[in-house]
């Protein structure tokens, strides 16, 4: 059962009980009051009749009145004060009566009600009657004076009142239940909305929020929910970013290992298989040492770059030496591709991170080499440093204009099929961008399909 | 949960329902009238003939107690036939009787039914009343705007109803004495009605169909020079009363008898009076000699040869507000030199059943004992009103039939004719003012007679001849 249905049912039950209890109480009170008033009225009427009749009859009666005179006097005195509900009896026989029933059968002369003149309620042939009687003396004679009041109409009114009460109670309960249903539904609507938004967020729409319109507990719940959703979205965003960074790091490391690994594999292969001279062996081992050291530093730098917010370490680096290292590192790859690197340096020193910059230039050169078709006759690549600008140019296939904005996105590849064949993961230029950003440098791409590409990295002042 | 609700509702219904105790069979009492009938009913053995009660030649009685003086020196009139007890109801005048009476009273003159408004006349009236709805009550009226509009709307409803059967053109409708059945919010049920107007005379008759409302027949002949003979100076006709030459009592009586014969039921002339327009200054201080004379004939019904008591006044009252008033039957004709001037027949009776052909009656002595005891009580003047003195003169004591009404029946006009000793006379009240001025008027059972100039007889006391109960003829029991 839904919450609003439960609440509605509970409130309806409470409402029903309360309304019925109140209605019944009121009805009983009204009935008792009305009957009490009727009873008092009848009692007063009987008392007045008895007293008036008795006083008048005793005033006029004489002991020497004949029976006929006495009877006529008694009737005159009684009729002077009586009406159609009055009965005068003597010794159980009627003297004057306008009613058909015998009141003494219901309020006997020996009863307590008779001695006190208390009205008694009886029902005779569907008629509700109040009968009050008491004795009156005229001389030595004792008479019974009764009032037989038909209060059937009063009972009918009470019954009508009861039906009206019942009708009003039912209507009140129905209205109350209806109003409660509407109110509760309206109140729980925000909870339903909350539930809906929670589902959407669970399905991935982390930006969804509930609209807070009230200042009550539901409103507070909504605000808290939105705060929670903000925290979740932020967390997920952080986690996604971290995940992305880790991916990039792993991808970057993997990517960067490729080039030096080529050299390392080459040199270790030489050391194992070839008969090298001492100098050639030293040179290979030195290459291996420098490459592995570079790889270790690169790993640390990449780790720092992708997984922490620490700034990279910058130092003043002699550019010619850096370029020499780069040239040496990339040589095996270029040889494999059949590409020729020309280095032009007009800058002496710059402040940068040598390992990361090495990686940056390495990636640009490898990309330039990959830009040529395998069957190209010439594959020239130019690496130049002028001022604070590092440029790598090729005359390869170029980058279509429509994707030039996306080439630095992680895992983006202009031509997926070719990259895959060449072992590309789409991370090279992303790394270049990341390293350039870490330096605060800007990257510019000048490329024309069929004519070649120049990528320039400008370090900040 | 549903089960709990059901139980609660059931309990509520049981509590709400007015639980009535099992009705008992009623223990029945005989009503007064039944007791009286039982007491009074007698079956004469076939070989015995009825003997009227023994009575003296005259009845004499005197009483004096300061404010009240009673003097009776009365003739005693007893029918020679048995006194019946007869059930009656106020059924009005049957259509067949009405045709005869109409023919007699119209006397060949064309009488027309009231003008019925044409459709265009009603439309005019509707328009007029509708316009009045937007107005305020007339100046001087104490009606609220709501009451005013309510009254107008009632009238409009009535007009719309009338419109449905209204003629397109003005038409002359000749009355032939046929009743129209009508309904009114003031009457408990439908009734028969006749209203006809001529150049010289008018007849208006209302006849109850269900014996639940009053009935009456009123006939007026147009008079020249003055309005009516009612409320005029009235004196019993005897040898000392002078009549103008053109007014013959015998001829007038014959005309009345012709009318009575036309009714087709036994009626007789009970009393004759001379009516004139002399004024003695007691009314509006005007004093004048008589210029117009007529004869008034109070008539009475005969049942099995026994006359009904005559009430000179057409007044009546009921003891409770919801009880329909029922006057004693009264038939009065006024005849002048030109013929019957007015006929006033109030609450005609219809005999339904003879309960007893011959009642057992109290002896005259017992009855007078009751009368002498009761007269001072009935006409008792409280000490707080001792500026008033009463003089009661009893001129005749008659054994007649008086109509009493059925007990515990407020709505229907049903009752019975029972034998009663009726004391006729006058009740004169004199109010003595501190200024020394006295004001004298005649009353009937404490009510002023319709005519302050009436010098005839009234019912002073009425005693049930069977059980000695005092009967108030105005009330009916």
Question: For B171-209, what is each residue's pLDDT tens digit?
Answer: 888 999 999 998 887 788 889 999 999 988 999 999 999
- pLDDT at residue A189 greater than cutoff 90: no
% pLDDT > 90, chain B: 44
Phi, psi of A326 (to 5 degrees): -65, -45
Q: Which of residues A298 and A72 earns the better pLDDT score? A: A72
**Cα of A219 vs its chain's centroid, Å:** 10
User: Would you say A103 and A87 are in contact if contact means Cβ atoms under 8 Å apart?
Assistant: yes
Q: Hey, of A23, A64, A69, which one would you mutate to test binding to chain B, going by the most B CBs within 10 A of its CB?
A: A69
CB A370 within 8 A of CB A362: no
Helix (H, G, I), strand (E, B) or coil at A437: helix
- The values of phi and psi at residue B316, to 5°, are -170, 170
A-chain residues near B21 (CB < 8 A): 122-123
Q: What share of chain A has pLDDT > 70, as a percent?
A: 94
Q: Residue range A261-274: average pLDDT?
A: 80
Q: Give the pLDDT of residue A73.
A: 94
- Which residues fall within 8 angstroms of residue B2, CB to CB, at 6 or more apart? none
Residues of B in contact with A17 (CB under 8 A): 8
Question: Quick one: which of B350, B355, B229 has its CA closest to B295?
Answer: B229
Whether A106 sits inside 8 A of B27 (CB atoms) is yes
Instruction: Indicate the length of chain B as a whole number.
Output: 477
Put simply, the answer to whether B378 touches A76 (Cβ < 8 Å) is yes
Instruction: Among A12, A32, A98, A162, pick the best mutation site for testing chain B contact (most B Cβ within 10 A).
Output: A98
| Ranges A252-261, B7-16, B75-84, B262-271: which has the least confidence | B7-16
In sequence order, what are the residues at sequence separation of 6 or more whose Cβ sits closer than 8 angstroms to the Cβ of residue A71?
Answer: A95, B467, B468
**Contact between A302 and A249 (Cβ < 8 Å):** yes
Q: What is the pLDDT confidence band of residue A314, given thresholds at 50, 70 and 90?
A: very high
Say if A20 is an interface residue toward chain B (CB within 8 Å): yes
B238-252 pLDDT per residue, tens? 888 888 888 899 999
Is the predicted pLDDT of residue B468 greater than 60, yes or no?
yes
User: For A67, which residue in chain B has the nearest alpha carbon?
Assistant: B366
CB atoms within 10 A of CB B390: 17
How far is Cα B396 from Cα B171, in angstroms, rounded to an integer?
55
pLDDT at position B21: 42
C-alpha B419, offset from chain centre: 19
The two structure tokens encoding residue A199: 């589902």
Q: What is the mean pLDDT of chain B?
A: 83
Q: Is the pLDDT reported for residue A52 higher than 70?
A: yes
Residues of B in contact with A133 (CB under 8 A): none
Chain B contact present for A17, CB below 8 A: yes
| pLDDT-derived band at B27, boundaries 50, 70, 90 | low
Q: Is the pLDDT of residue B89 over 60?
A: yes
Q: Does B136 touch chain A (CB under 8 A)?
A: no
pLDDT digits 0-9 by tens, B36-87: 777 777 555 555 677 888 999 999 999 998 889 999 999 999 999 999 999 9
Query: Which residues, in sequence order, are CB contacts of B450 under 8 Å at separation 6+?
Result: B230, B231, B313, B314, B315
Contacts of B282 (CB under 8 A, 6+ apart): B440, B452, B453
Q: Given an 8 Å threshold on Cβ–Cβ distance, is A24 in contact with B23?
A: no
Render pLDDT for B424-448 as a digit per residue (tens, 0 to 9). 998 888 888 777 777 776 665 545 5
Q: Is the pLDDT of residue B18 over 50?
A: no
Confidence class for position A425, pLDDT limits 50, 70, 90? low
pLDDT reading at A418 higher than 70: no
Name which of B48, B49, B44, B82 is nearest B305 in CA terms: B82
The pLDDT score that the predictor gives to residue B434 is: 75
A to B CB pairs, distance under 8 Å: 121
pLDDT at B144: 87
Between CA B156 and CA B115 the distance in angstroms is: 19
pLDDT of residue B226: 60
Query: Counting Cβ atoms within 10 Å, is residue A157 exposed (0-12), middle (13-18) or buried (19+)?
Result: middle
String of DSSP letters for A159-207? HHHHHHHHHHHHHHHHHHHHHHHHHHHHHHHHHHHHHHHHHHHHTT-TT
pLDDT at B59: 96
Does pLDDT of B372 surpass 90? yes
pLDDT above 70: residue A243: yes
B8: contact with A, CB 8 A cutoff: yes
Residue length of chain A? 461
B463 touches A: beta carbon within 8 Å: yes
Average pLDDT over residues B312-321: 56
Residue B6 is predicted with a pLDDT of: 57
Q: Could you write out the DSSP letters of every residue in B200-233?
A: SEEEEEEEESSS-S--EEEEEEPPSSSS-STTSE
Q: Does residue A161 belong to the interface with chain B, where contact is any CB pair within 8 Å?
A: no
Closest among B423, B426, B476, B422 to B452, alpha carbons compared:
B426
SS3 percent helix, strand, coil of chain A, rounded to 5, is 60, 15, 25
Rounded to an integer, the average pLDDT of A449-457 is 94
pLDDT in tens, B252-284: 999 999 999 999 999 999 999 998 887 766 666
Verify whether the Cβ–Cβ distance A97 to B32 is below 8 Å: yes
Confidence of residue A254 (pLDDT cuts 50, 70, 90): confident
- Backbone φ and ψ for B218, nearest 5 degrees, come out as -130, 130
β-partners of residue A35 are none
pLDDT band at A210 (very low <50, low <70, confident <90, very high): confident
Q: Which residues of A are less than 8 Å from B35 in CB distance?
A: 94
Residue of A nearest to B463 (CA): A72
For residue A177, the model assigns a pLDDT of: 85
User: What pLDDT score does A142 carry?
Assistant: 95
Q: Report how far apart the first and last C-alpha atoms of chain A are (Å, whole number).
A: 70
Q: Quick check: B238 and B272 in contact, CB under 8 A?
A: no
Predicted-complex ipTM score: 0.79
Least confident span in A1-10, A175-184, A377-386, A392-401 = A1-10
Of A301 and B186, which is predicted with more confidence? B186
Residue B322 confidence (pLDDT): 56
The confidence score (pLDDT) of residue B302 equals: 95
Q: Confirm whether pTM is higher than 0.80.
A: no
Residues of A in contact with B406 (CB under 8 A): none
Cα torsion B76, B80, B82, B86 to 10°: value is: -70
Cα-Cα end-to-end distance for chain B: 65
Q: How confident is the model at residue B22 (pLDDT cuts 50, 70, 90)?
A: very low
User: Measured between CB atoms, which of A9, A20, A79 is closest to B8?
Assistant: A20
Q: Residue B238 CA to chain centroid, in angstroms?
A: 26
């Amino acid at each position: 059962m839904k919450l609003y249905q439960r609440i509605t049912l509970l409130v309806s039950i409470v409402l029903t009980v309360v309304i019925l209890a109140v209605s019944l109480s009121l009805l009983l009170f009204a009935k008792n009051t009305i009957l009490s008033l009727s009873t008092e009225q009848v009692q007063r009427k009987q008392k007045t009749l008895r007293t008036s009749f008795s006083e008048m009859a005793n005033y006029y009666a004489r002991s020497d009145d004949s029976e006929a005179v006495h009877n006529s006097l008694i009737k005159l005195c009684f009729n002077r004060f009586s009406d159609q509900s009055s009965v005068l009896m003597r010794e159980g026989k009627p003297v004057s009566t306008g009613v058909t029933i015998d009141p003494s059968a219901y309020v006997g002369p020996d009863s307590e009600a008779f001695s006190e003149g208390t009205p008694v309620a009886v029902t005779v042939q569907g008629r509700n009657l109040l009968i009050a009687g008491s004795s009156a003396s005229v001389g030595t004679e004792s008479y019974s004076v009764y009032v037989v009041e038909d209060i059937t109409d009063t009972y009918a009114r009470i019954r009508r009142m009861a039906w009206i009460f019942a009708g009003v109670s039912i209507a009140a309960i129905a209205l109350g239940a209806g109003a409660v249903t509407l109110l509760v539904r309206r109140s729980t609507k925000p909870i339903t909305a909350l539930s809906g938004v929670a589902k959407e967020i669970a399905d991935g729409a982390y930006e969804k929020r509930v609209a807070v319109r009230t200042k009550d507990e539901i409103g507070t719940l909504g605000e808290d929910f939105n705060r929670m959703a903000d925290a979740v979205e932020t967390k997920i965003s952080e986690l996604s970013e971290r995940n992305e960074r880790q991916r990039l790091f792993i991808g970057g490391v993997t990517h960067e290992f490729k080039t030096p690994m080529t050299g390392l594999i080459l040199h270790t292969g030489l050391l194992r298989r070839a008969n090298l001279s001492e100098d050639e062996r030293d040179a290979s081992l030195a290459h291996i040492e420098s490459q592995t050291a570079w790889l270790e530093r690169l790993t640390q730098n990449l780790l720092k770059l992708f997984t922490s917010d620490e700034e990279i370490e910058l130092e003043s680096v002699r550019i010619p030496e850096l370029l020499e290292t780069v040239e040496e590192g990339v040589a095996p790859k270029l040889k494999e591709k059949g590409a020729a690197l020309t280095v032009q340096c007009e800058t002496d020193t710059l402040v940068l991170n040598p390992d990361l910059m090495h990686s940056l230039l390495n990636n640009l050169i490898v990309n330039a080499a990959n830009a040529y078709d395998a069957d190209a006759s010439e594959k020239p690549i130019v690496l130049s440093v002028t001022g604070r600008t590092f440029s790598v140019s090729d005359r390869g296939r170029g980058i279509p204009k429509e994707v030039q904005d996306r080439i630095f996105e992680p895992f983006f590849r202009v031509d997926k099929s070719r990259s895959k064949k060449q072992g590309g993961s789409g991370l090279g230029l992303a790394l270049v961008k990341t390293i350039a950003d870490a330096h605060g440098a800007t990257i510019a791409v000048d490329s024309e399909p069929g004519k070649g590409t120049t990528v320039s990295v400008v370090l900040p002042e | 949960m549903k089960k709990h609700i059901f139980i609660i509702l059931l309990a509520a219904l049981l509590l709400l329902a007015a639980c009535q105790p099992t009705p008992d069979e009623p223990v029945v009492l005989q009503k007064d009238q039944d007791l009286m009938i039982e007491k009074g009913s007698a079956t004469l053995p076939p070989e015995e003939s009825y003997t009227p009660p023994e009575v003296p030649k005259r009845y004499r009685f005197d009483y004096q107690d300061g404010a009240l003086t009673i003097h009776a020196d009365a003739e005693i009139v007893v029918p020679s036939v048995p006194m019946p007890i007869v059930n009656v109801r106020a059924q009005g005048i049957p259509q067949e009787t009405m045709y005869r009476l109409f023919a007699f009273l119209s006397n060949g003159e064309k009488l027309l039914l009231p003008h019925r408004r044409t459709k265009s006349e009603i439309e005019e009236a509707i328009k007029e009343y509708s316009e009045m709805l937007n107005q305020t009550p007339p100046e001087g009226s104490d009606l609220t705007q709501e009451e005013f509009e309510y009254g107008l709307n009632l009238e409009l409803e009535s007009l719309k109803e009338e419109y449905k059967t209204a003629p397109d053109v003005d038409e002359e409708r000749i009355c032939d004495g046929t009743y129209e059945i009508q309904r009114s919010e003031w009457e408990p049920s439908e009734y028969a009605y006749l209203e006809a107007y001529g150049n010289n005379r008018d007849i208006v008759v209302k006849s109850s169909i269900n014996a639940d409302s009053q009935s009456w027949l009123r006939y007026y002949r147009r008079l020249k020079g003055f309005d009516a003979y009612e409320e005029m100076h009235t004196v019993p006709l005897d040898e000392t009363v002078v009549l103008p030459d053109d007014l013959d009592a015998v001829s007038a009586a014959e005309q009345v008898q012709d009318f009575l014969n036309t009714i087709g039921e036994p009626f007789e002339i009970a009393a004759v009076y001379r009516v004139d327009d002399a004024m003695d200054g007691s009314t509006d201080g005007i004093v004048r000699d008589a210029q117009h004379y007529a004869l008034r004939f109070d008539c009475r019904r005969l049942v099995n040869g026994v006359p009904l008591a005559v009430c000179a006044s057409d007044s009546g009252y009921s003891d409770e507000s919801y009880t329909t008033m029922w006057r004693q039957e009264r038939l009065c004709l006024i005849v002048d030199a030109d013929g019957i001037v007015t006929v006033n027949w109030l609450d005609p009776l219809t005999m339904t059943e003879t309960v007893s052909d011959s009642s057992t009656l109290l002896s005259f002595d017992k009855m007078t004992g009751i009368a002498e005891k009761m007269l001072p009580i009935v006409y008792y003047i409280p000490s707080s009103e001792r500026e008033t003195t009463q003089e009661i003169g009893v001129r005749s004591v008659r054994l007649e039939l008086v109509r009493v009404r059925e007990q515990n029946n407020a709505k229907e006009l049903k009752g019975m004719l029972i034998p009663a000793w009726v004391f006729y006379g006058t009740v004169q009240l004199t109010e003595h003012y501190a200024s020394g001025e006295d004001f004298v008027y005649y009353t009937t059972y404490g009510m002023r007679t319709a005519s302050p100039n009436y010098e005839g007889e009234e019912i002073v006391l009425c005693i049930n001849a069977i059980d000695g109960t005092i009967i108030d003829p105005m009330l009916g029991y």
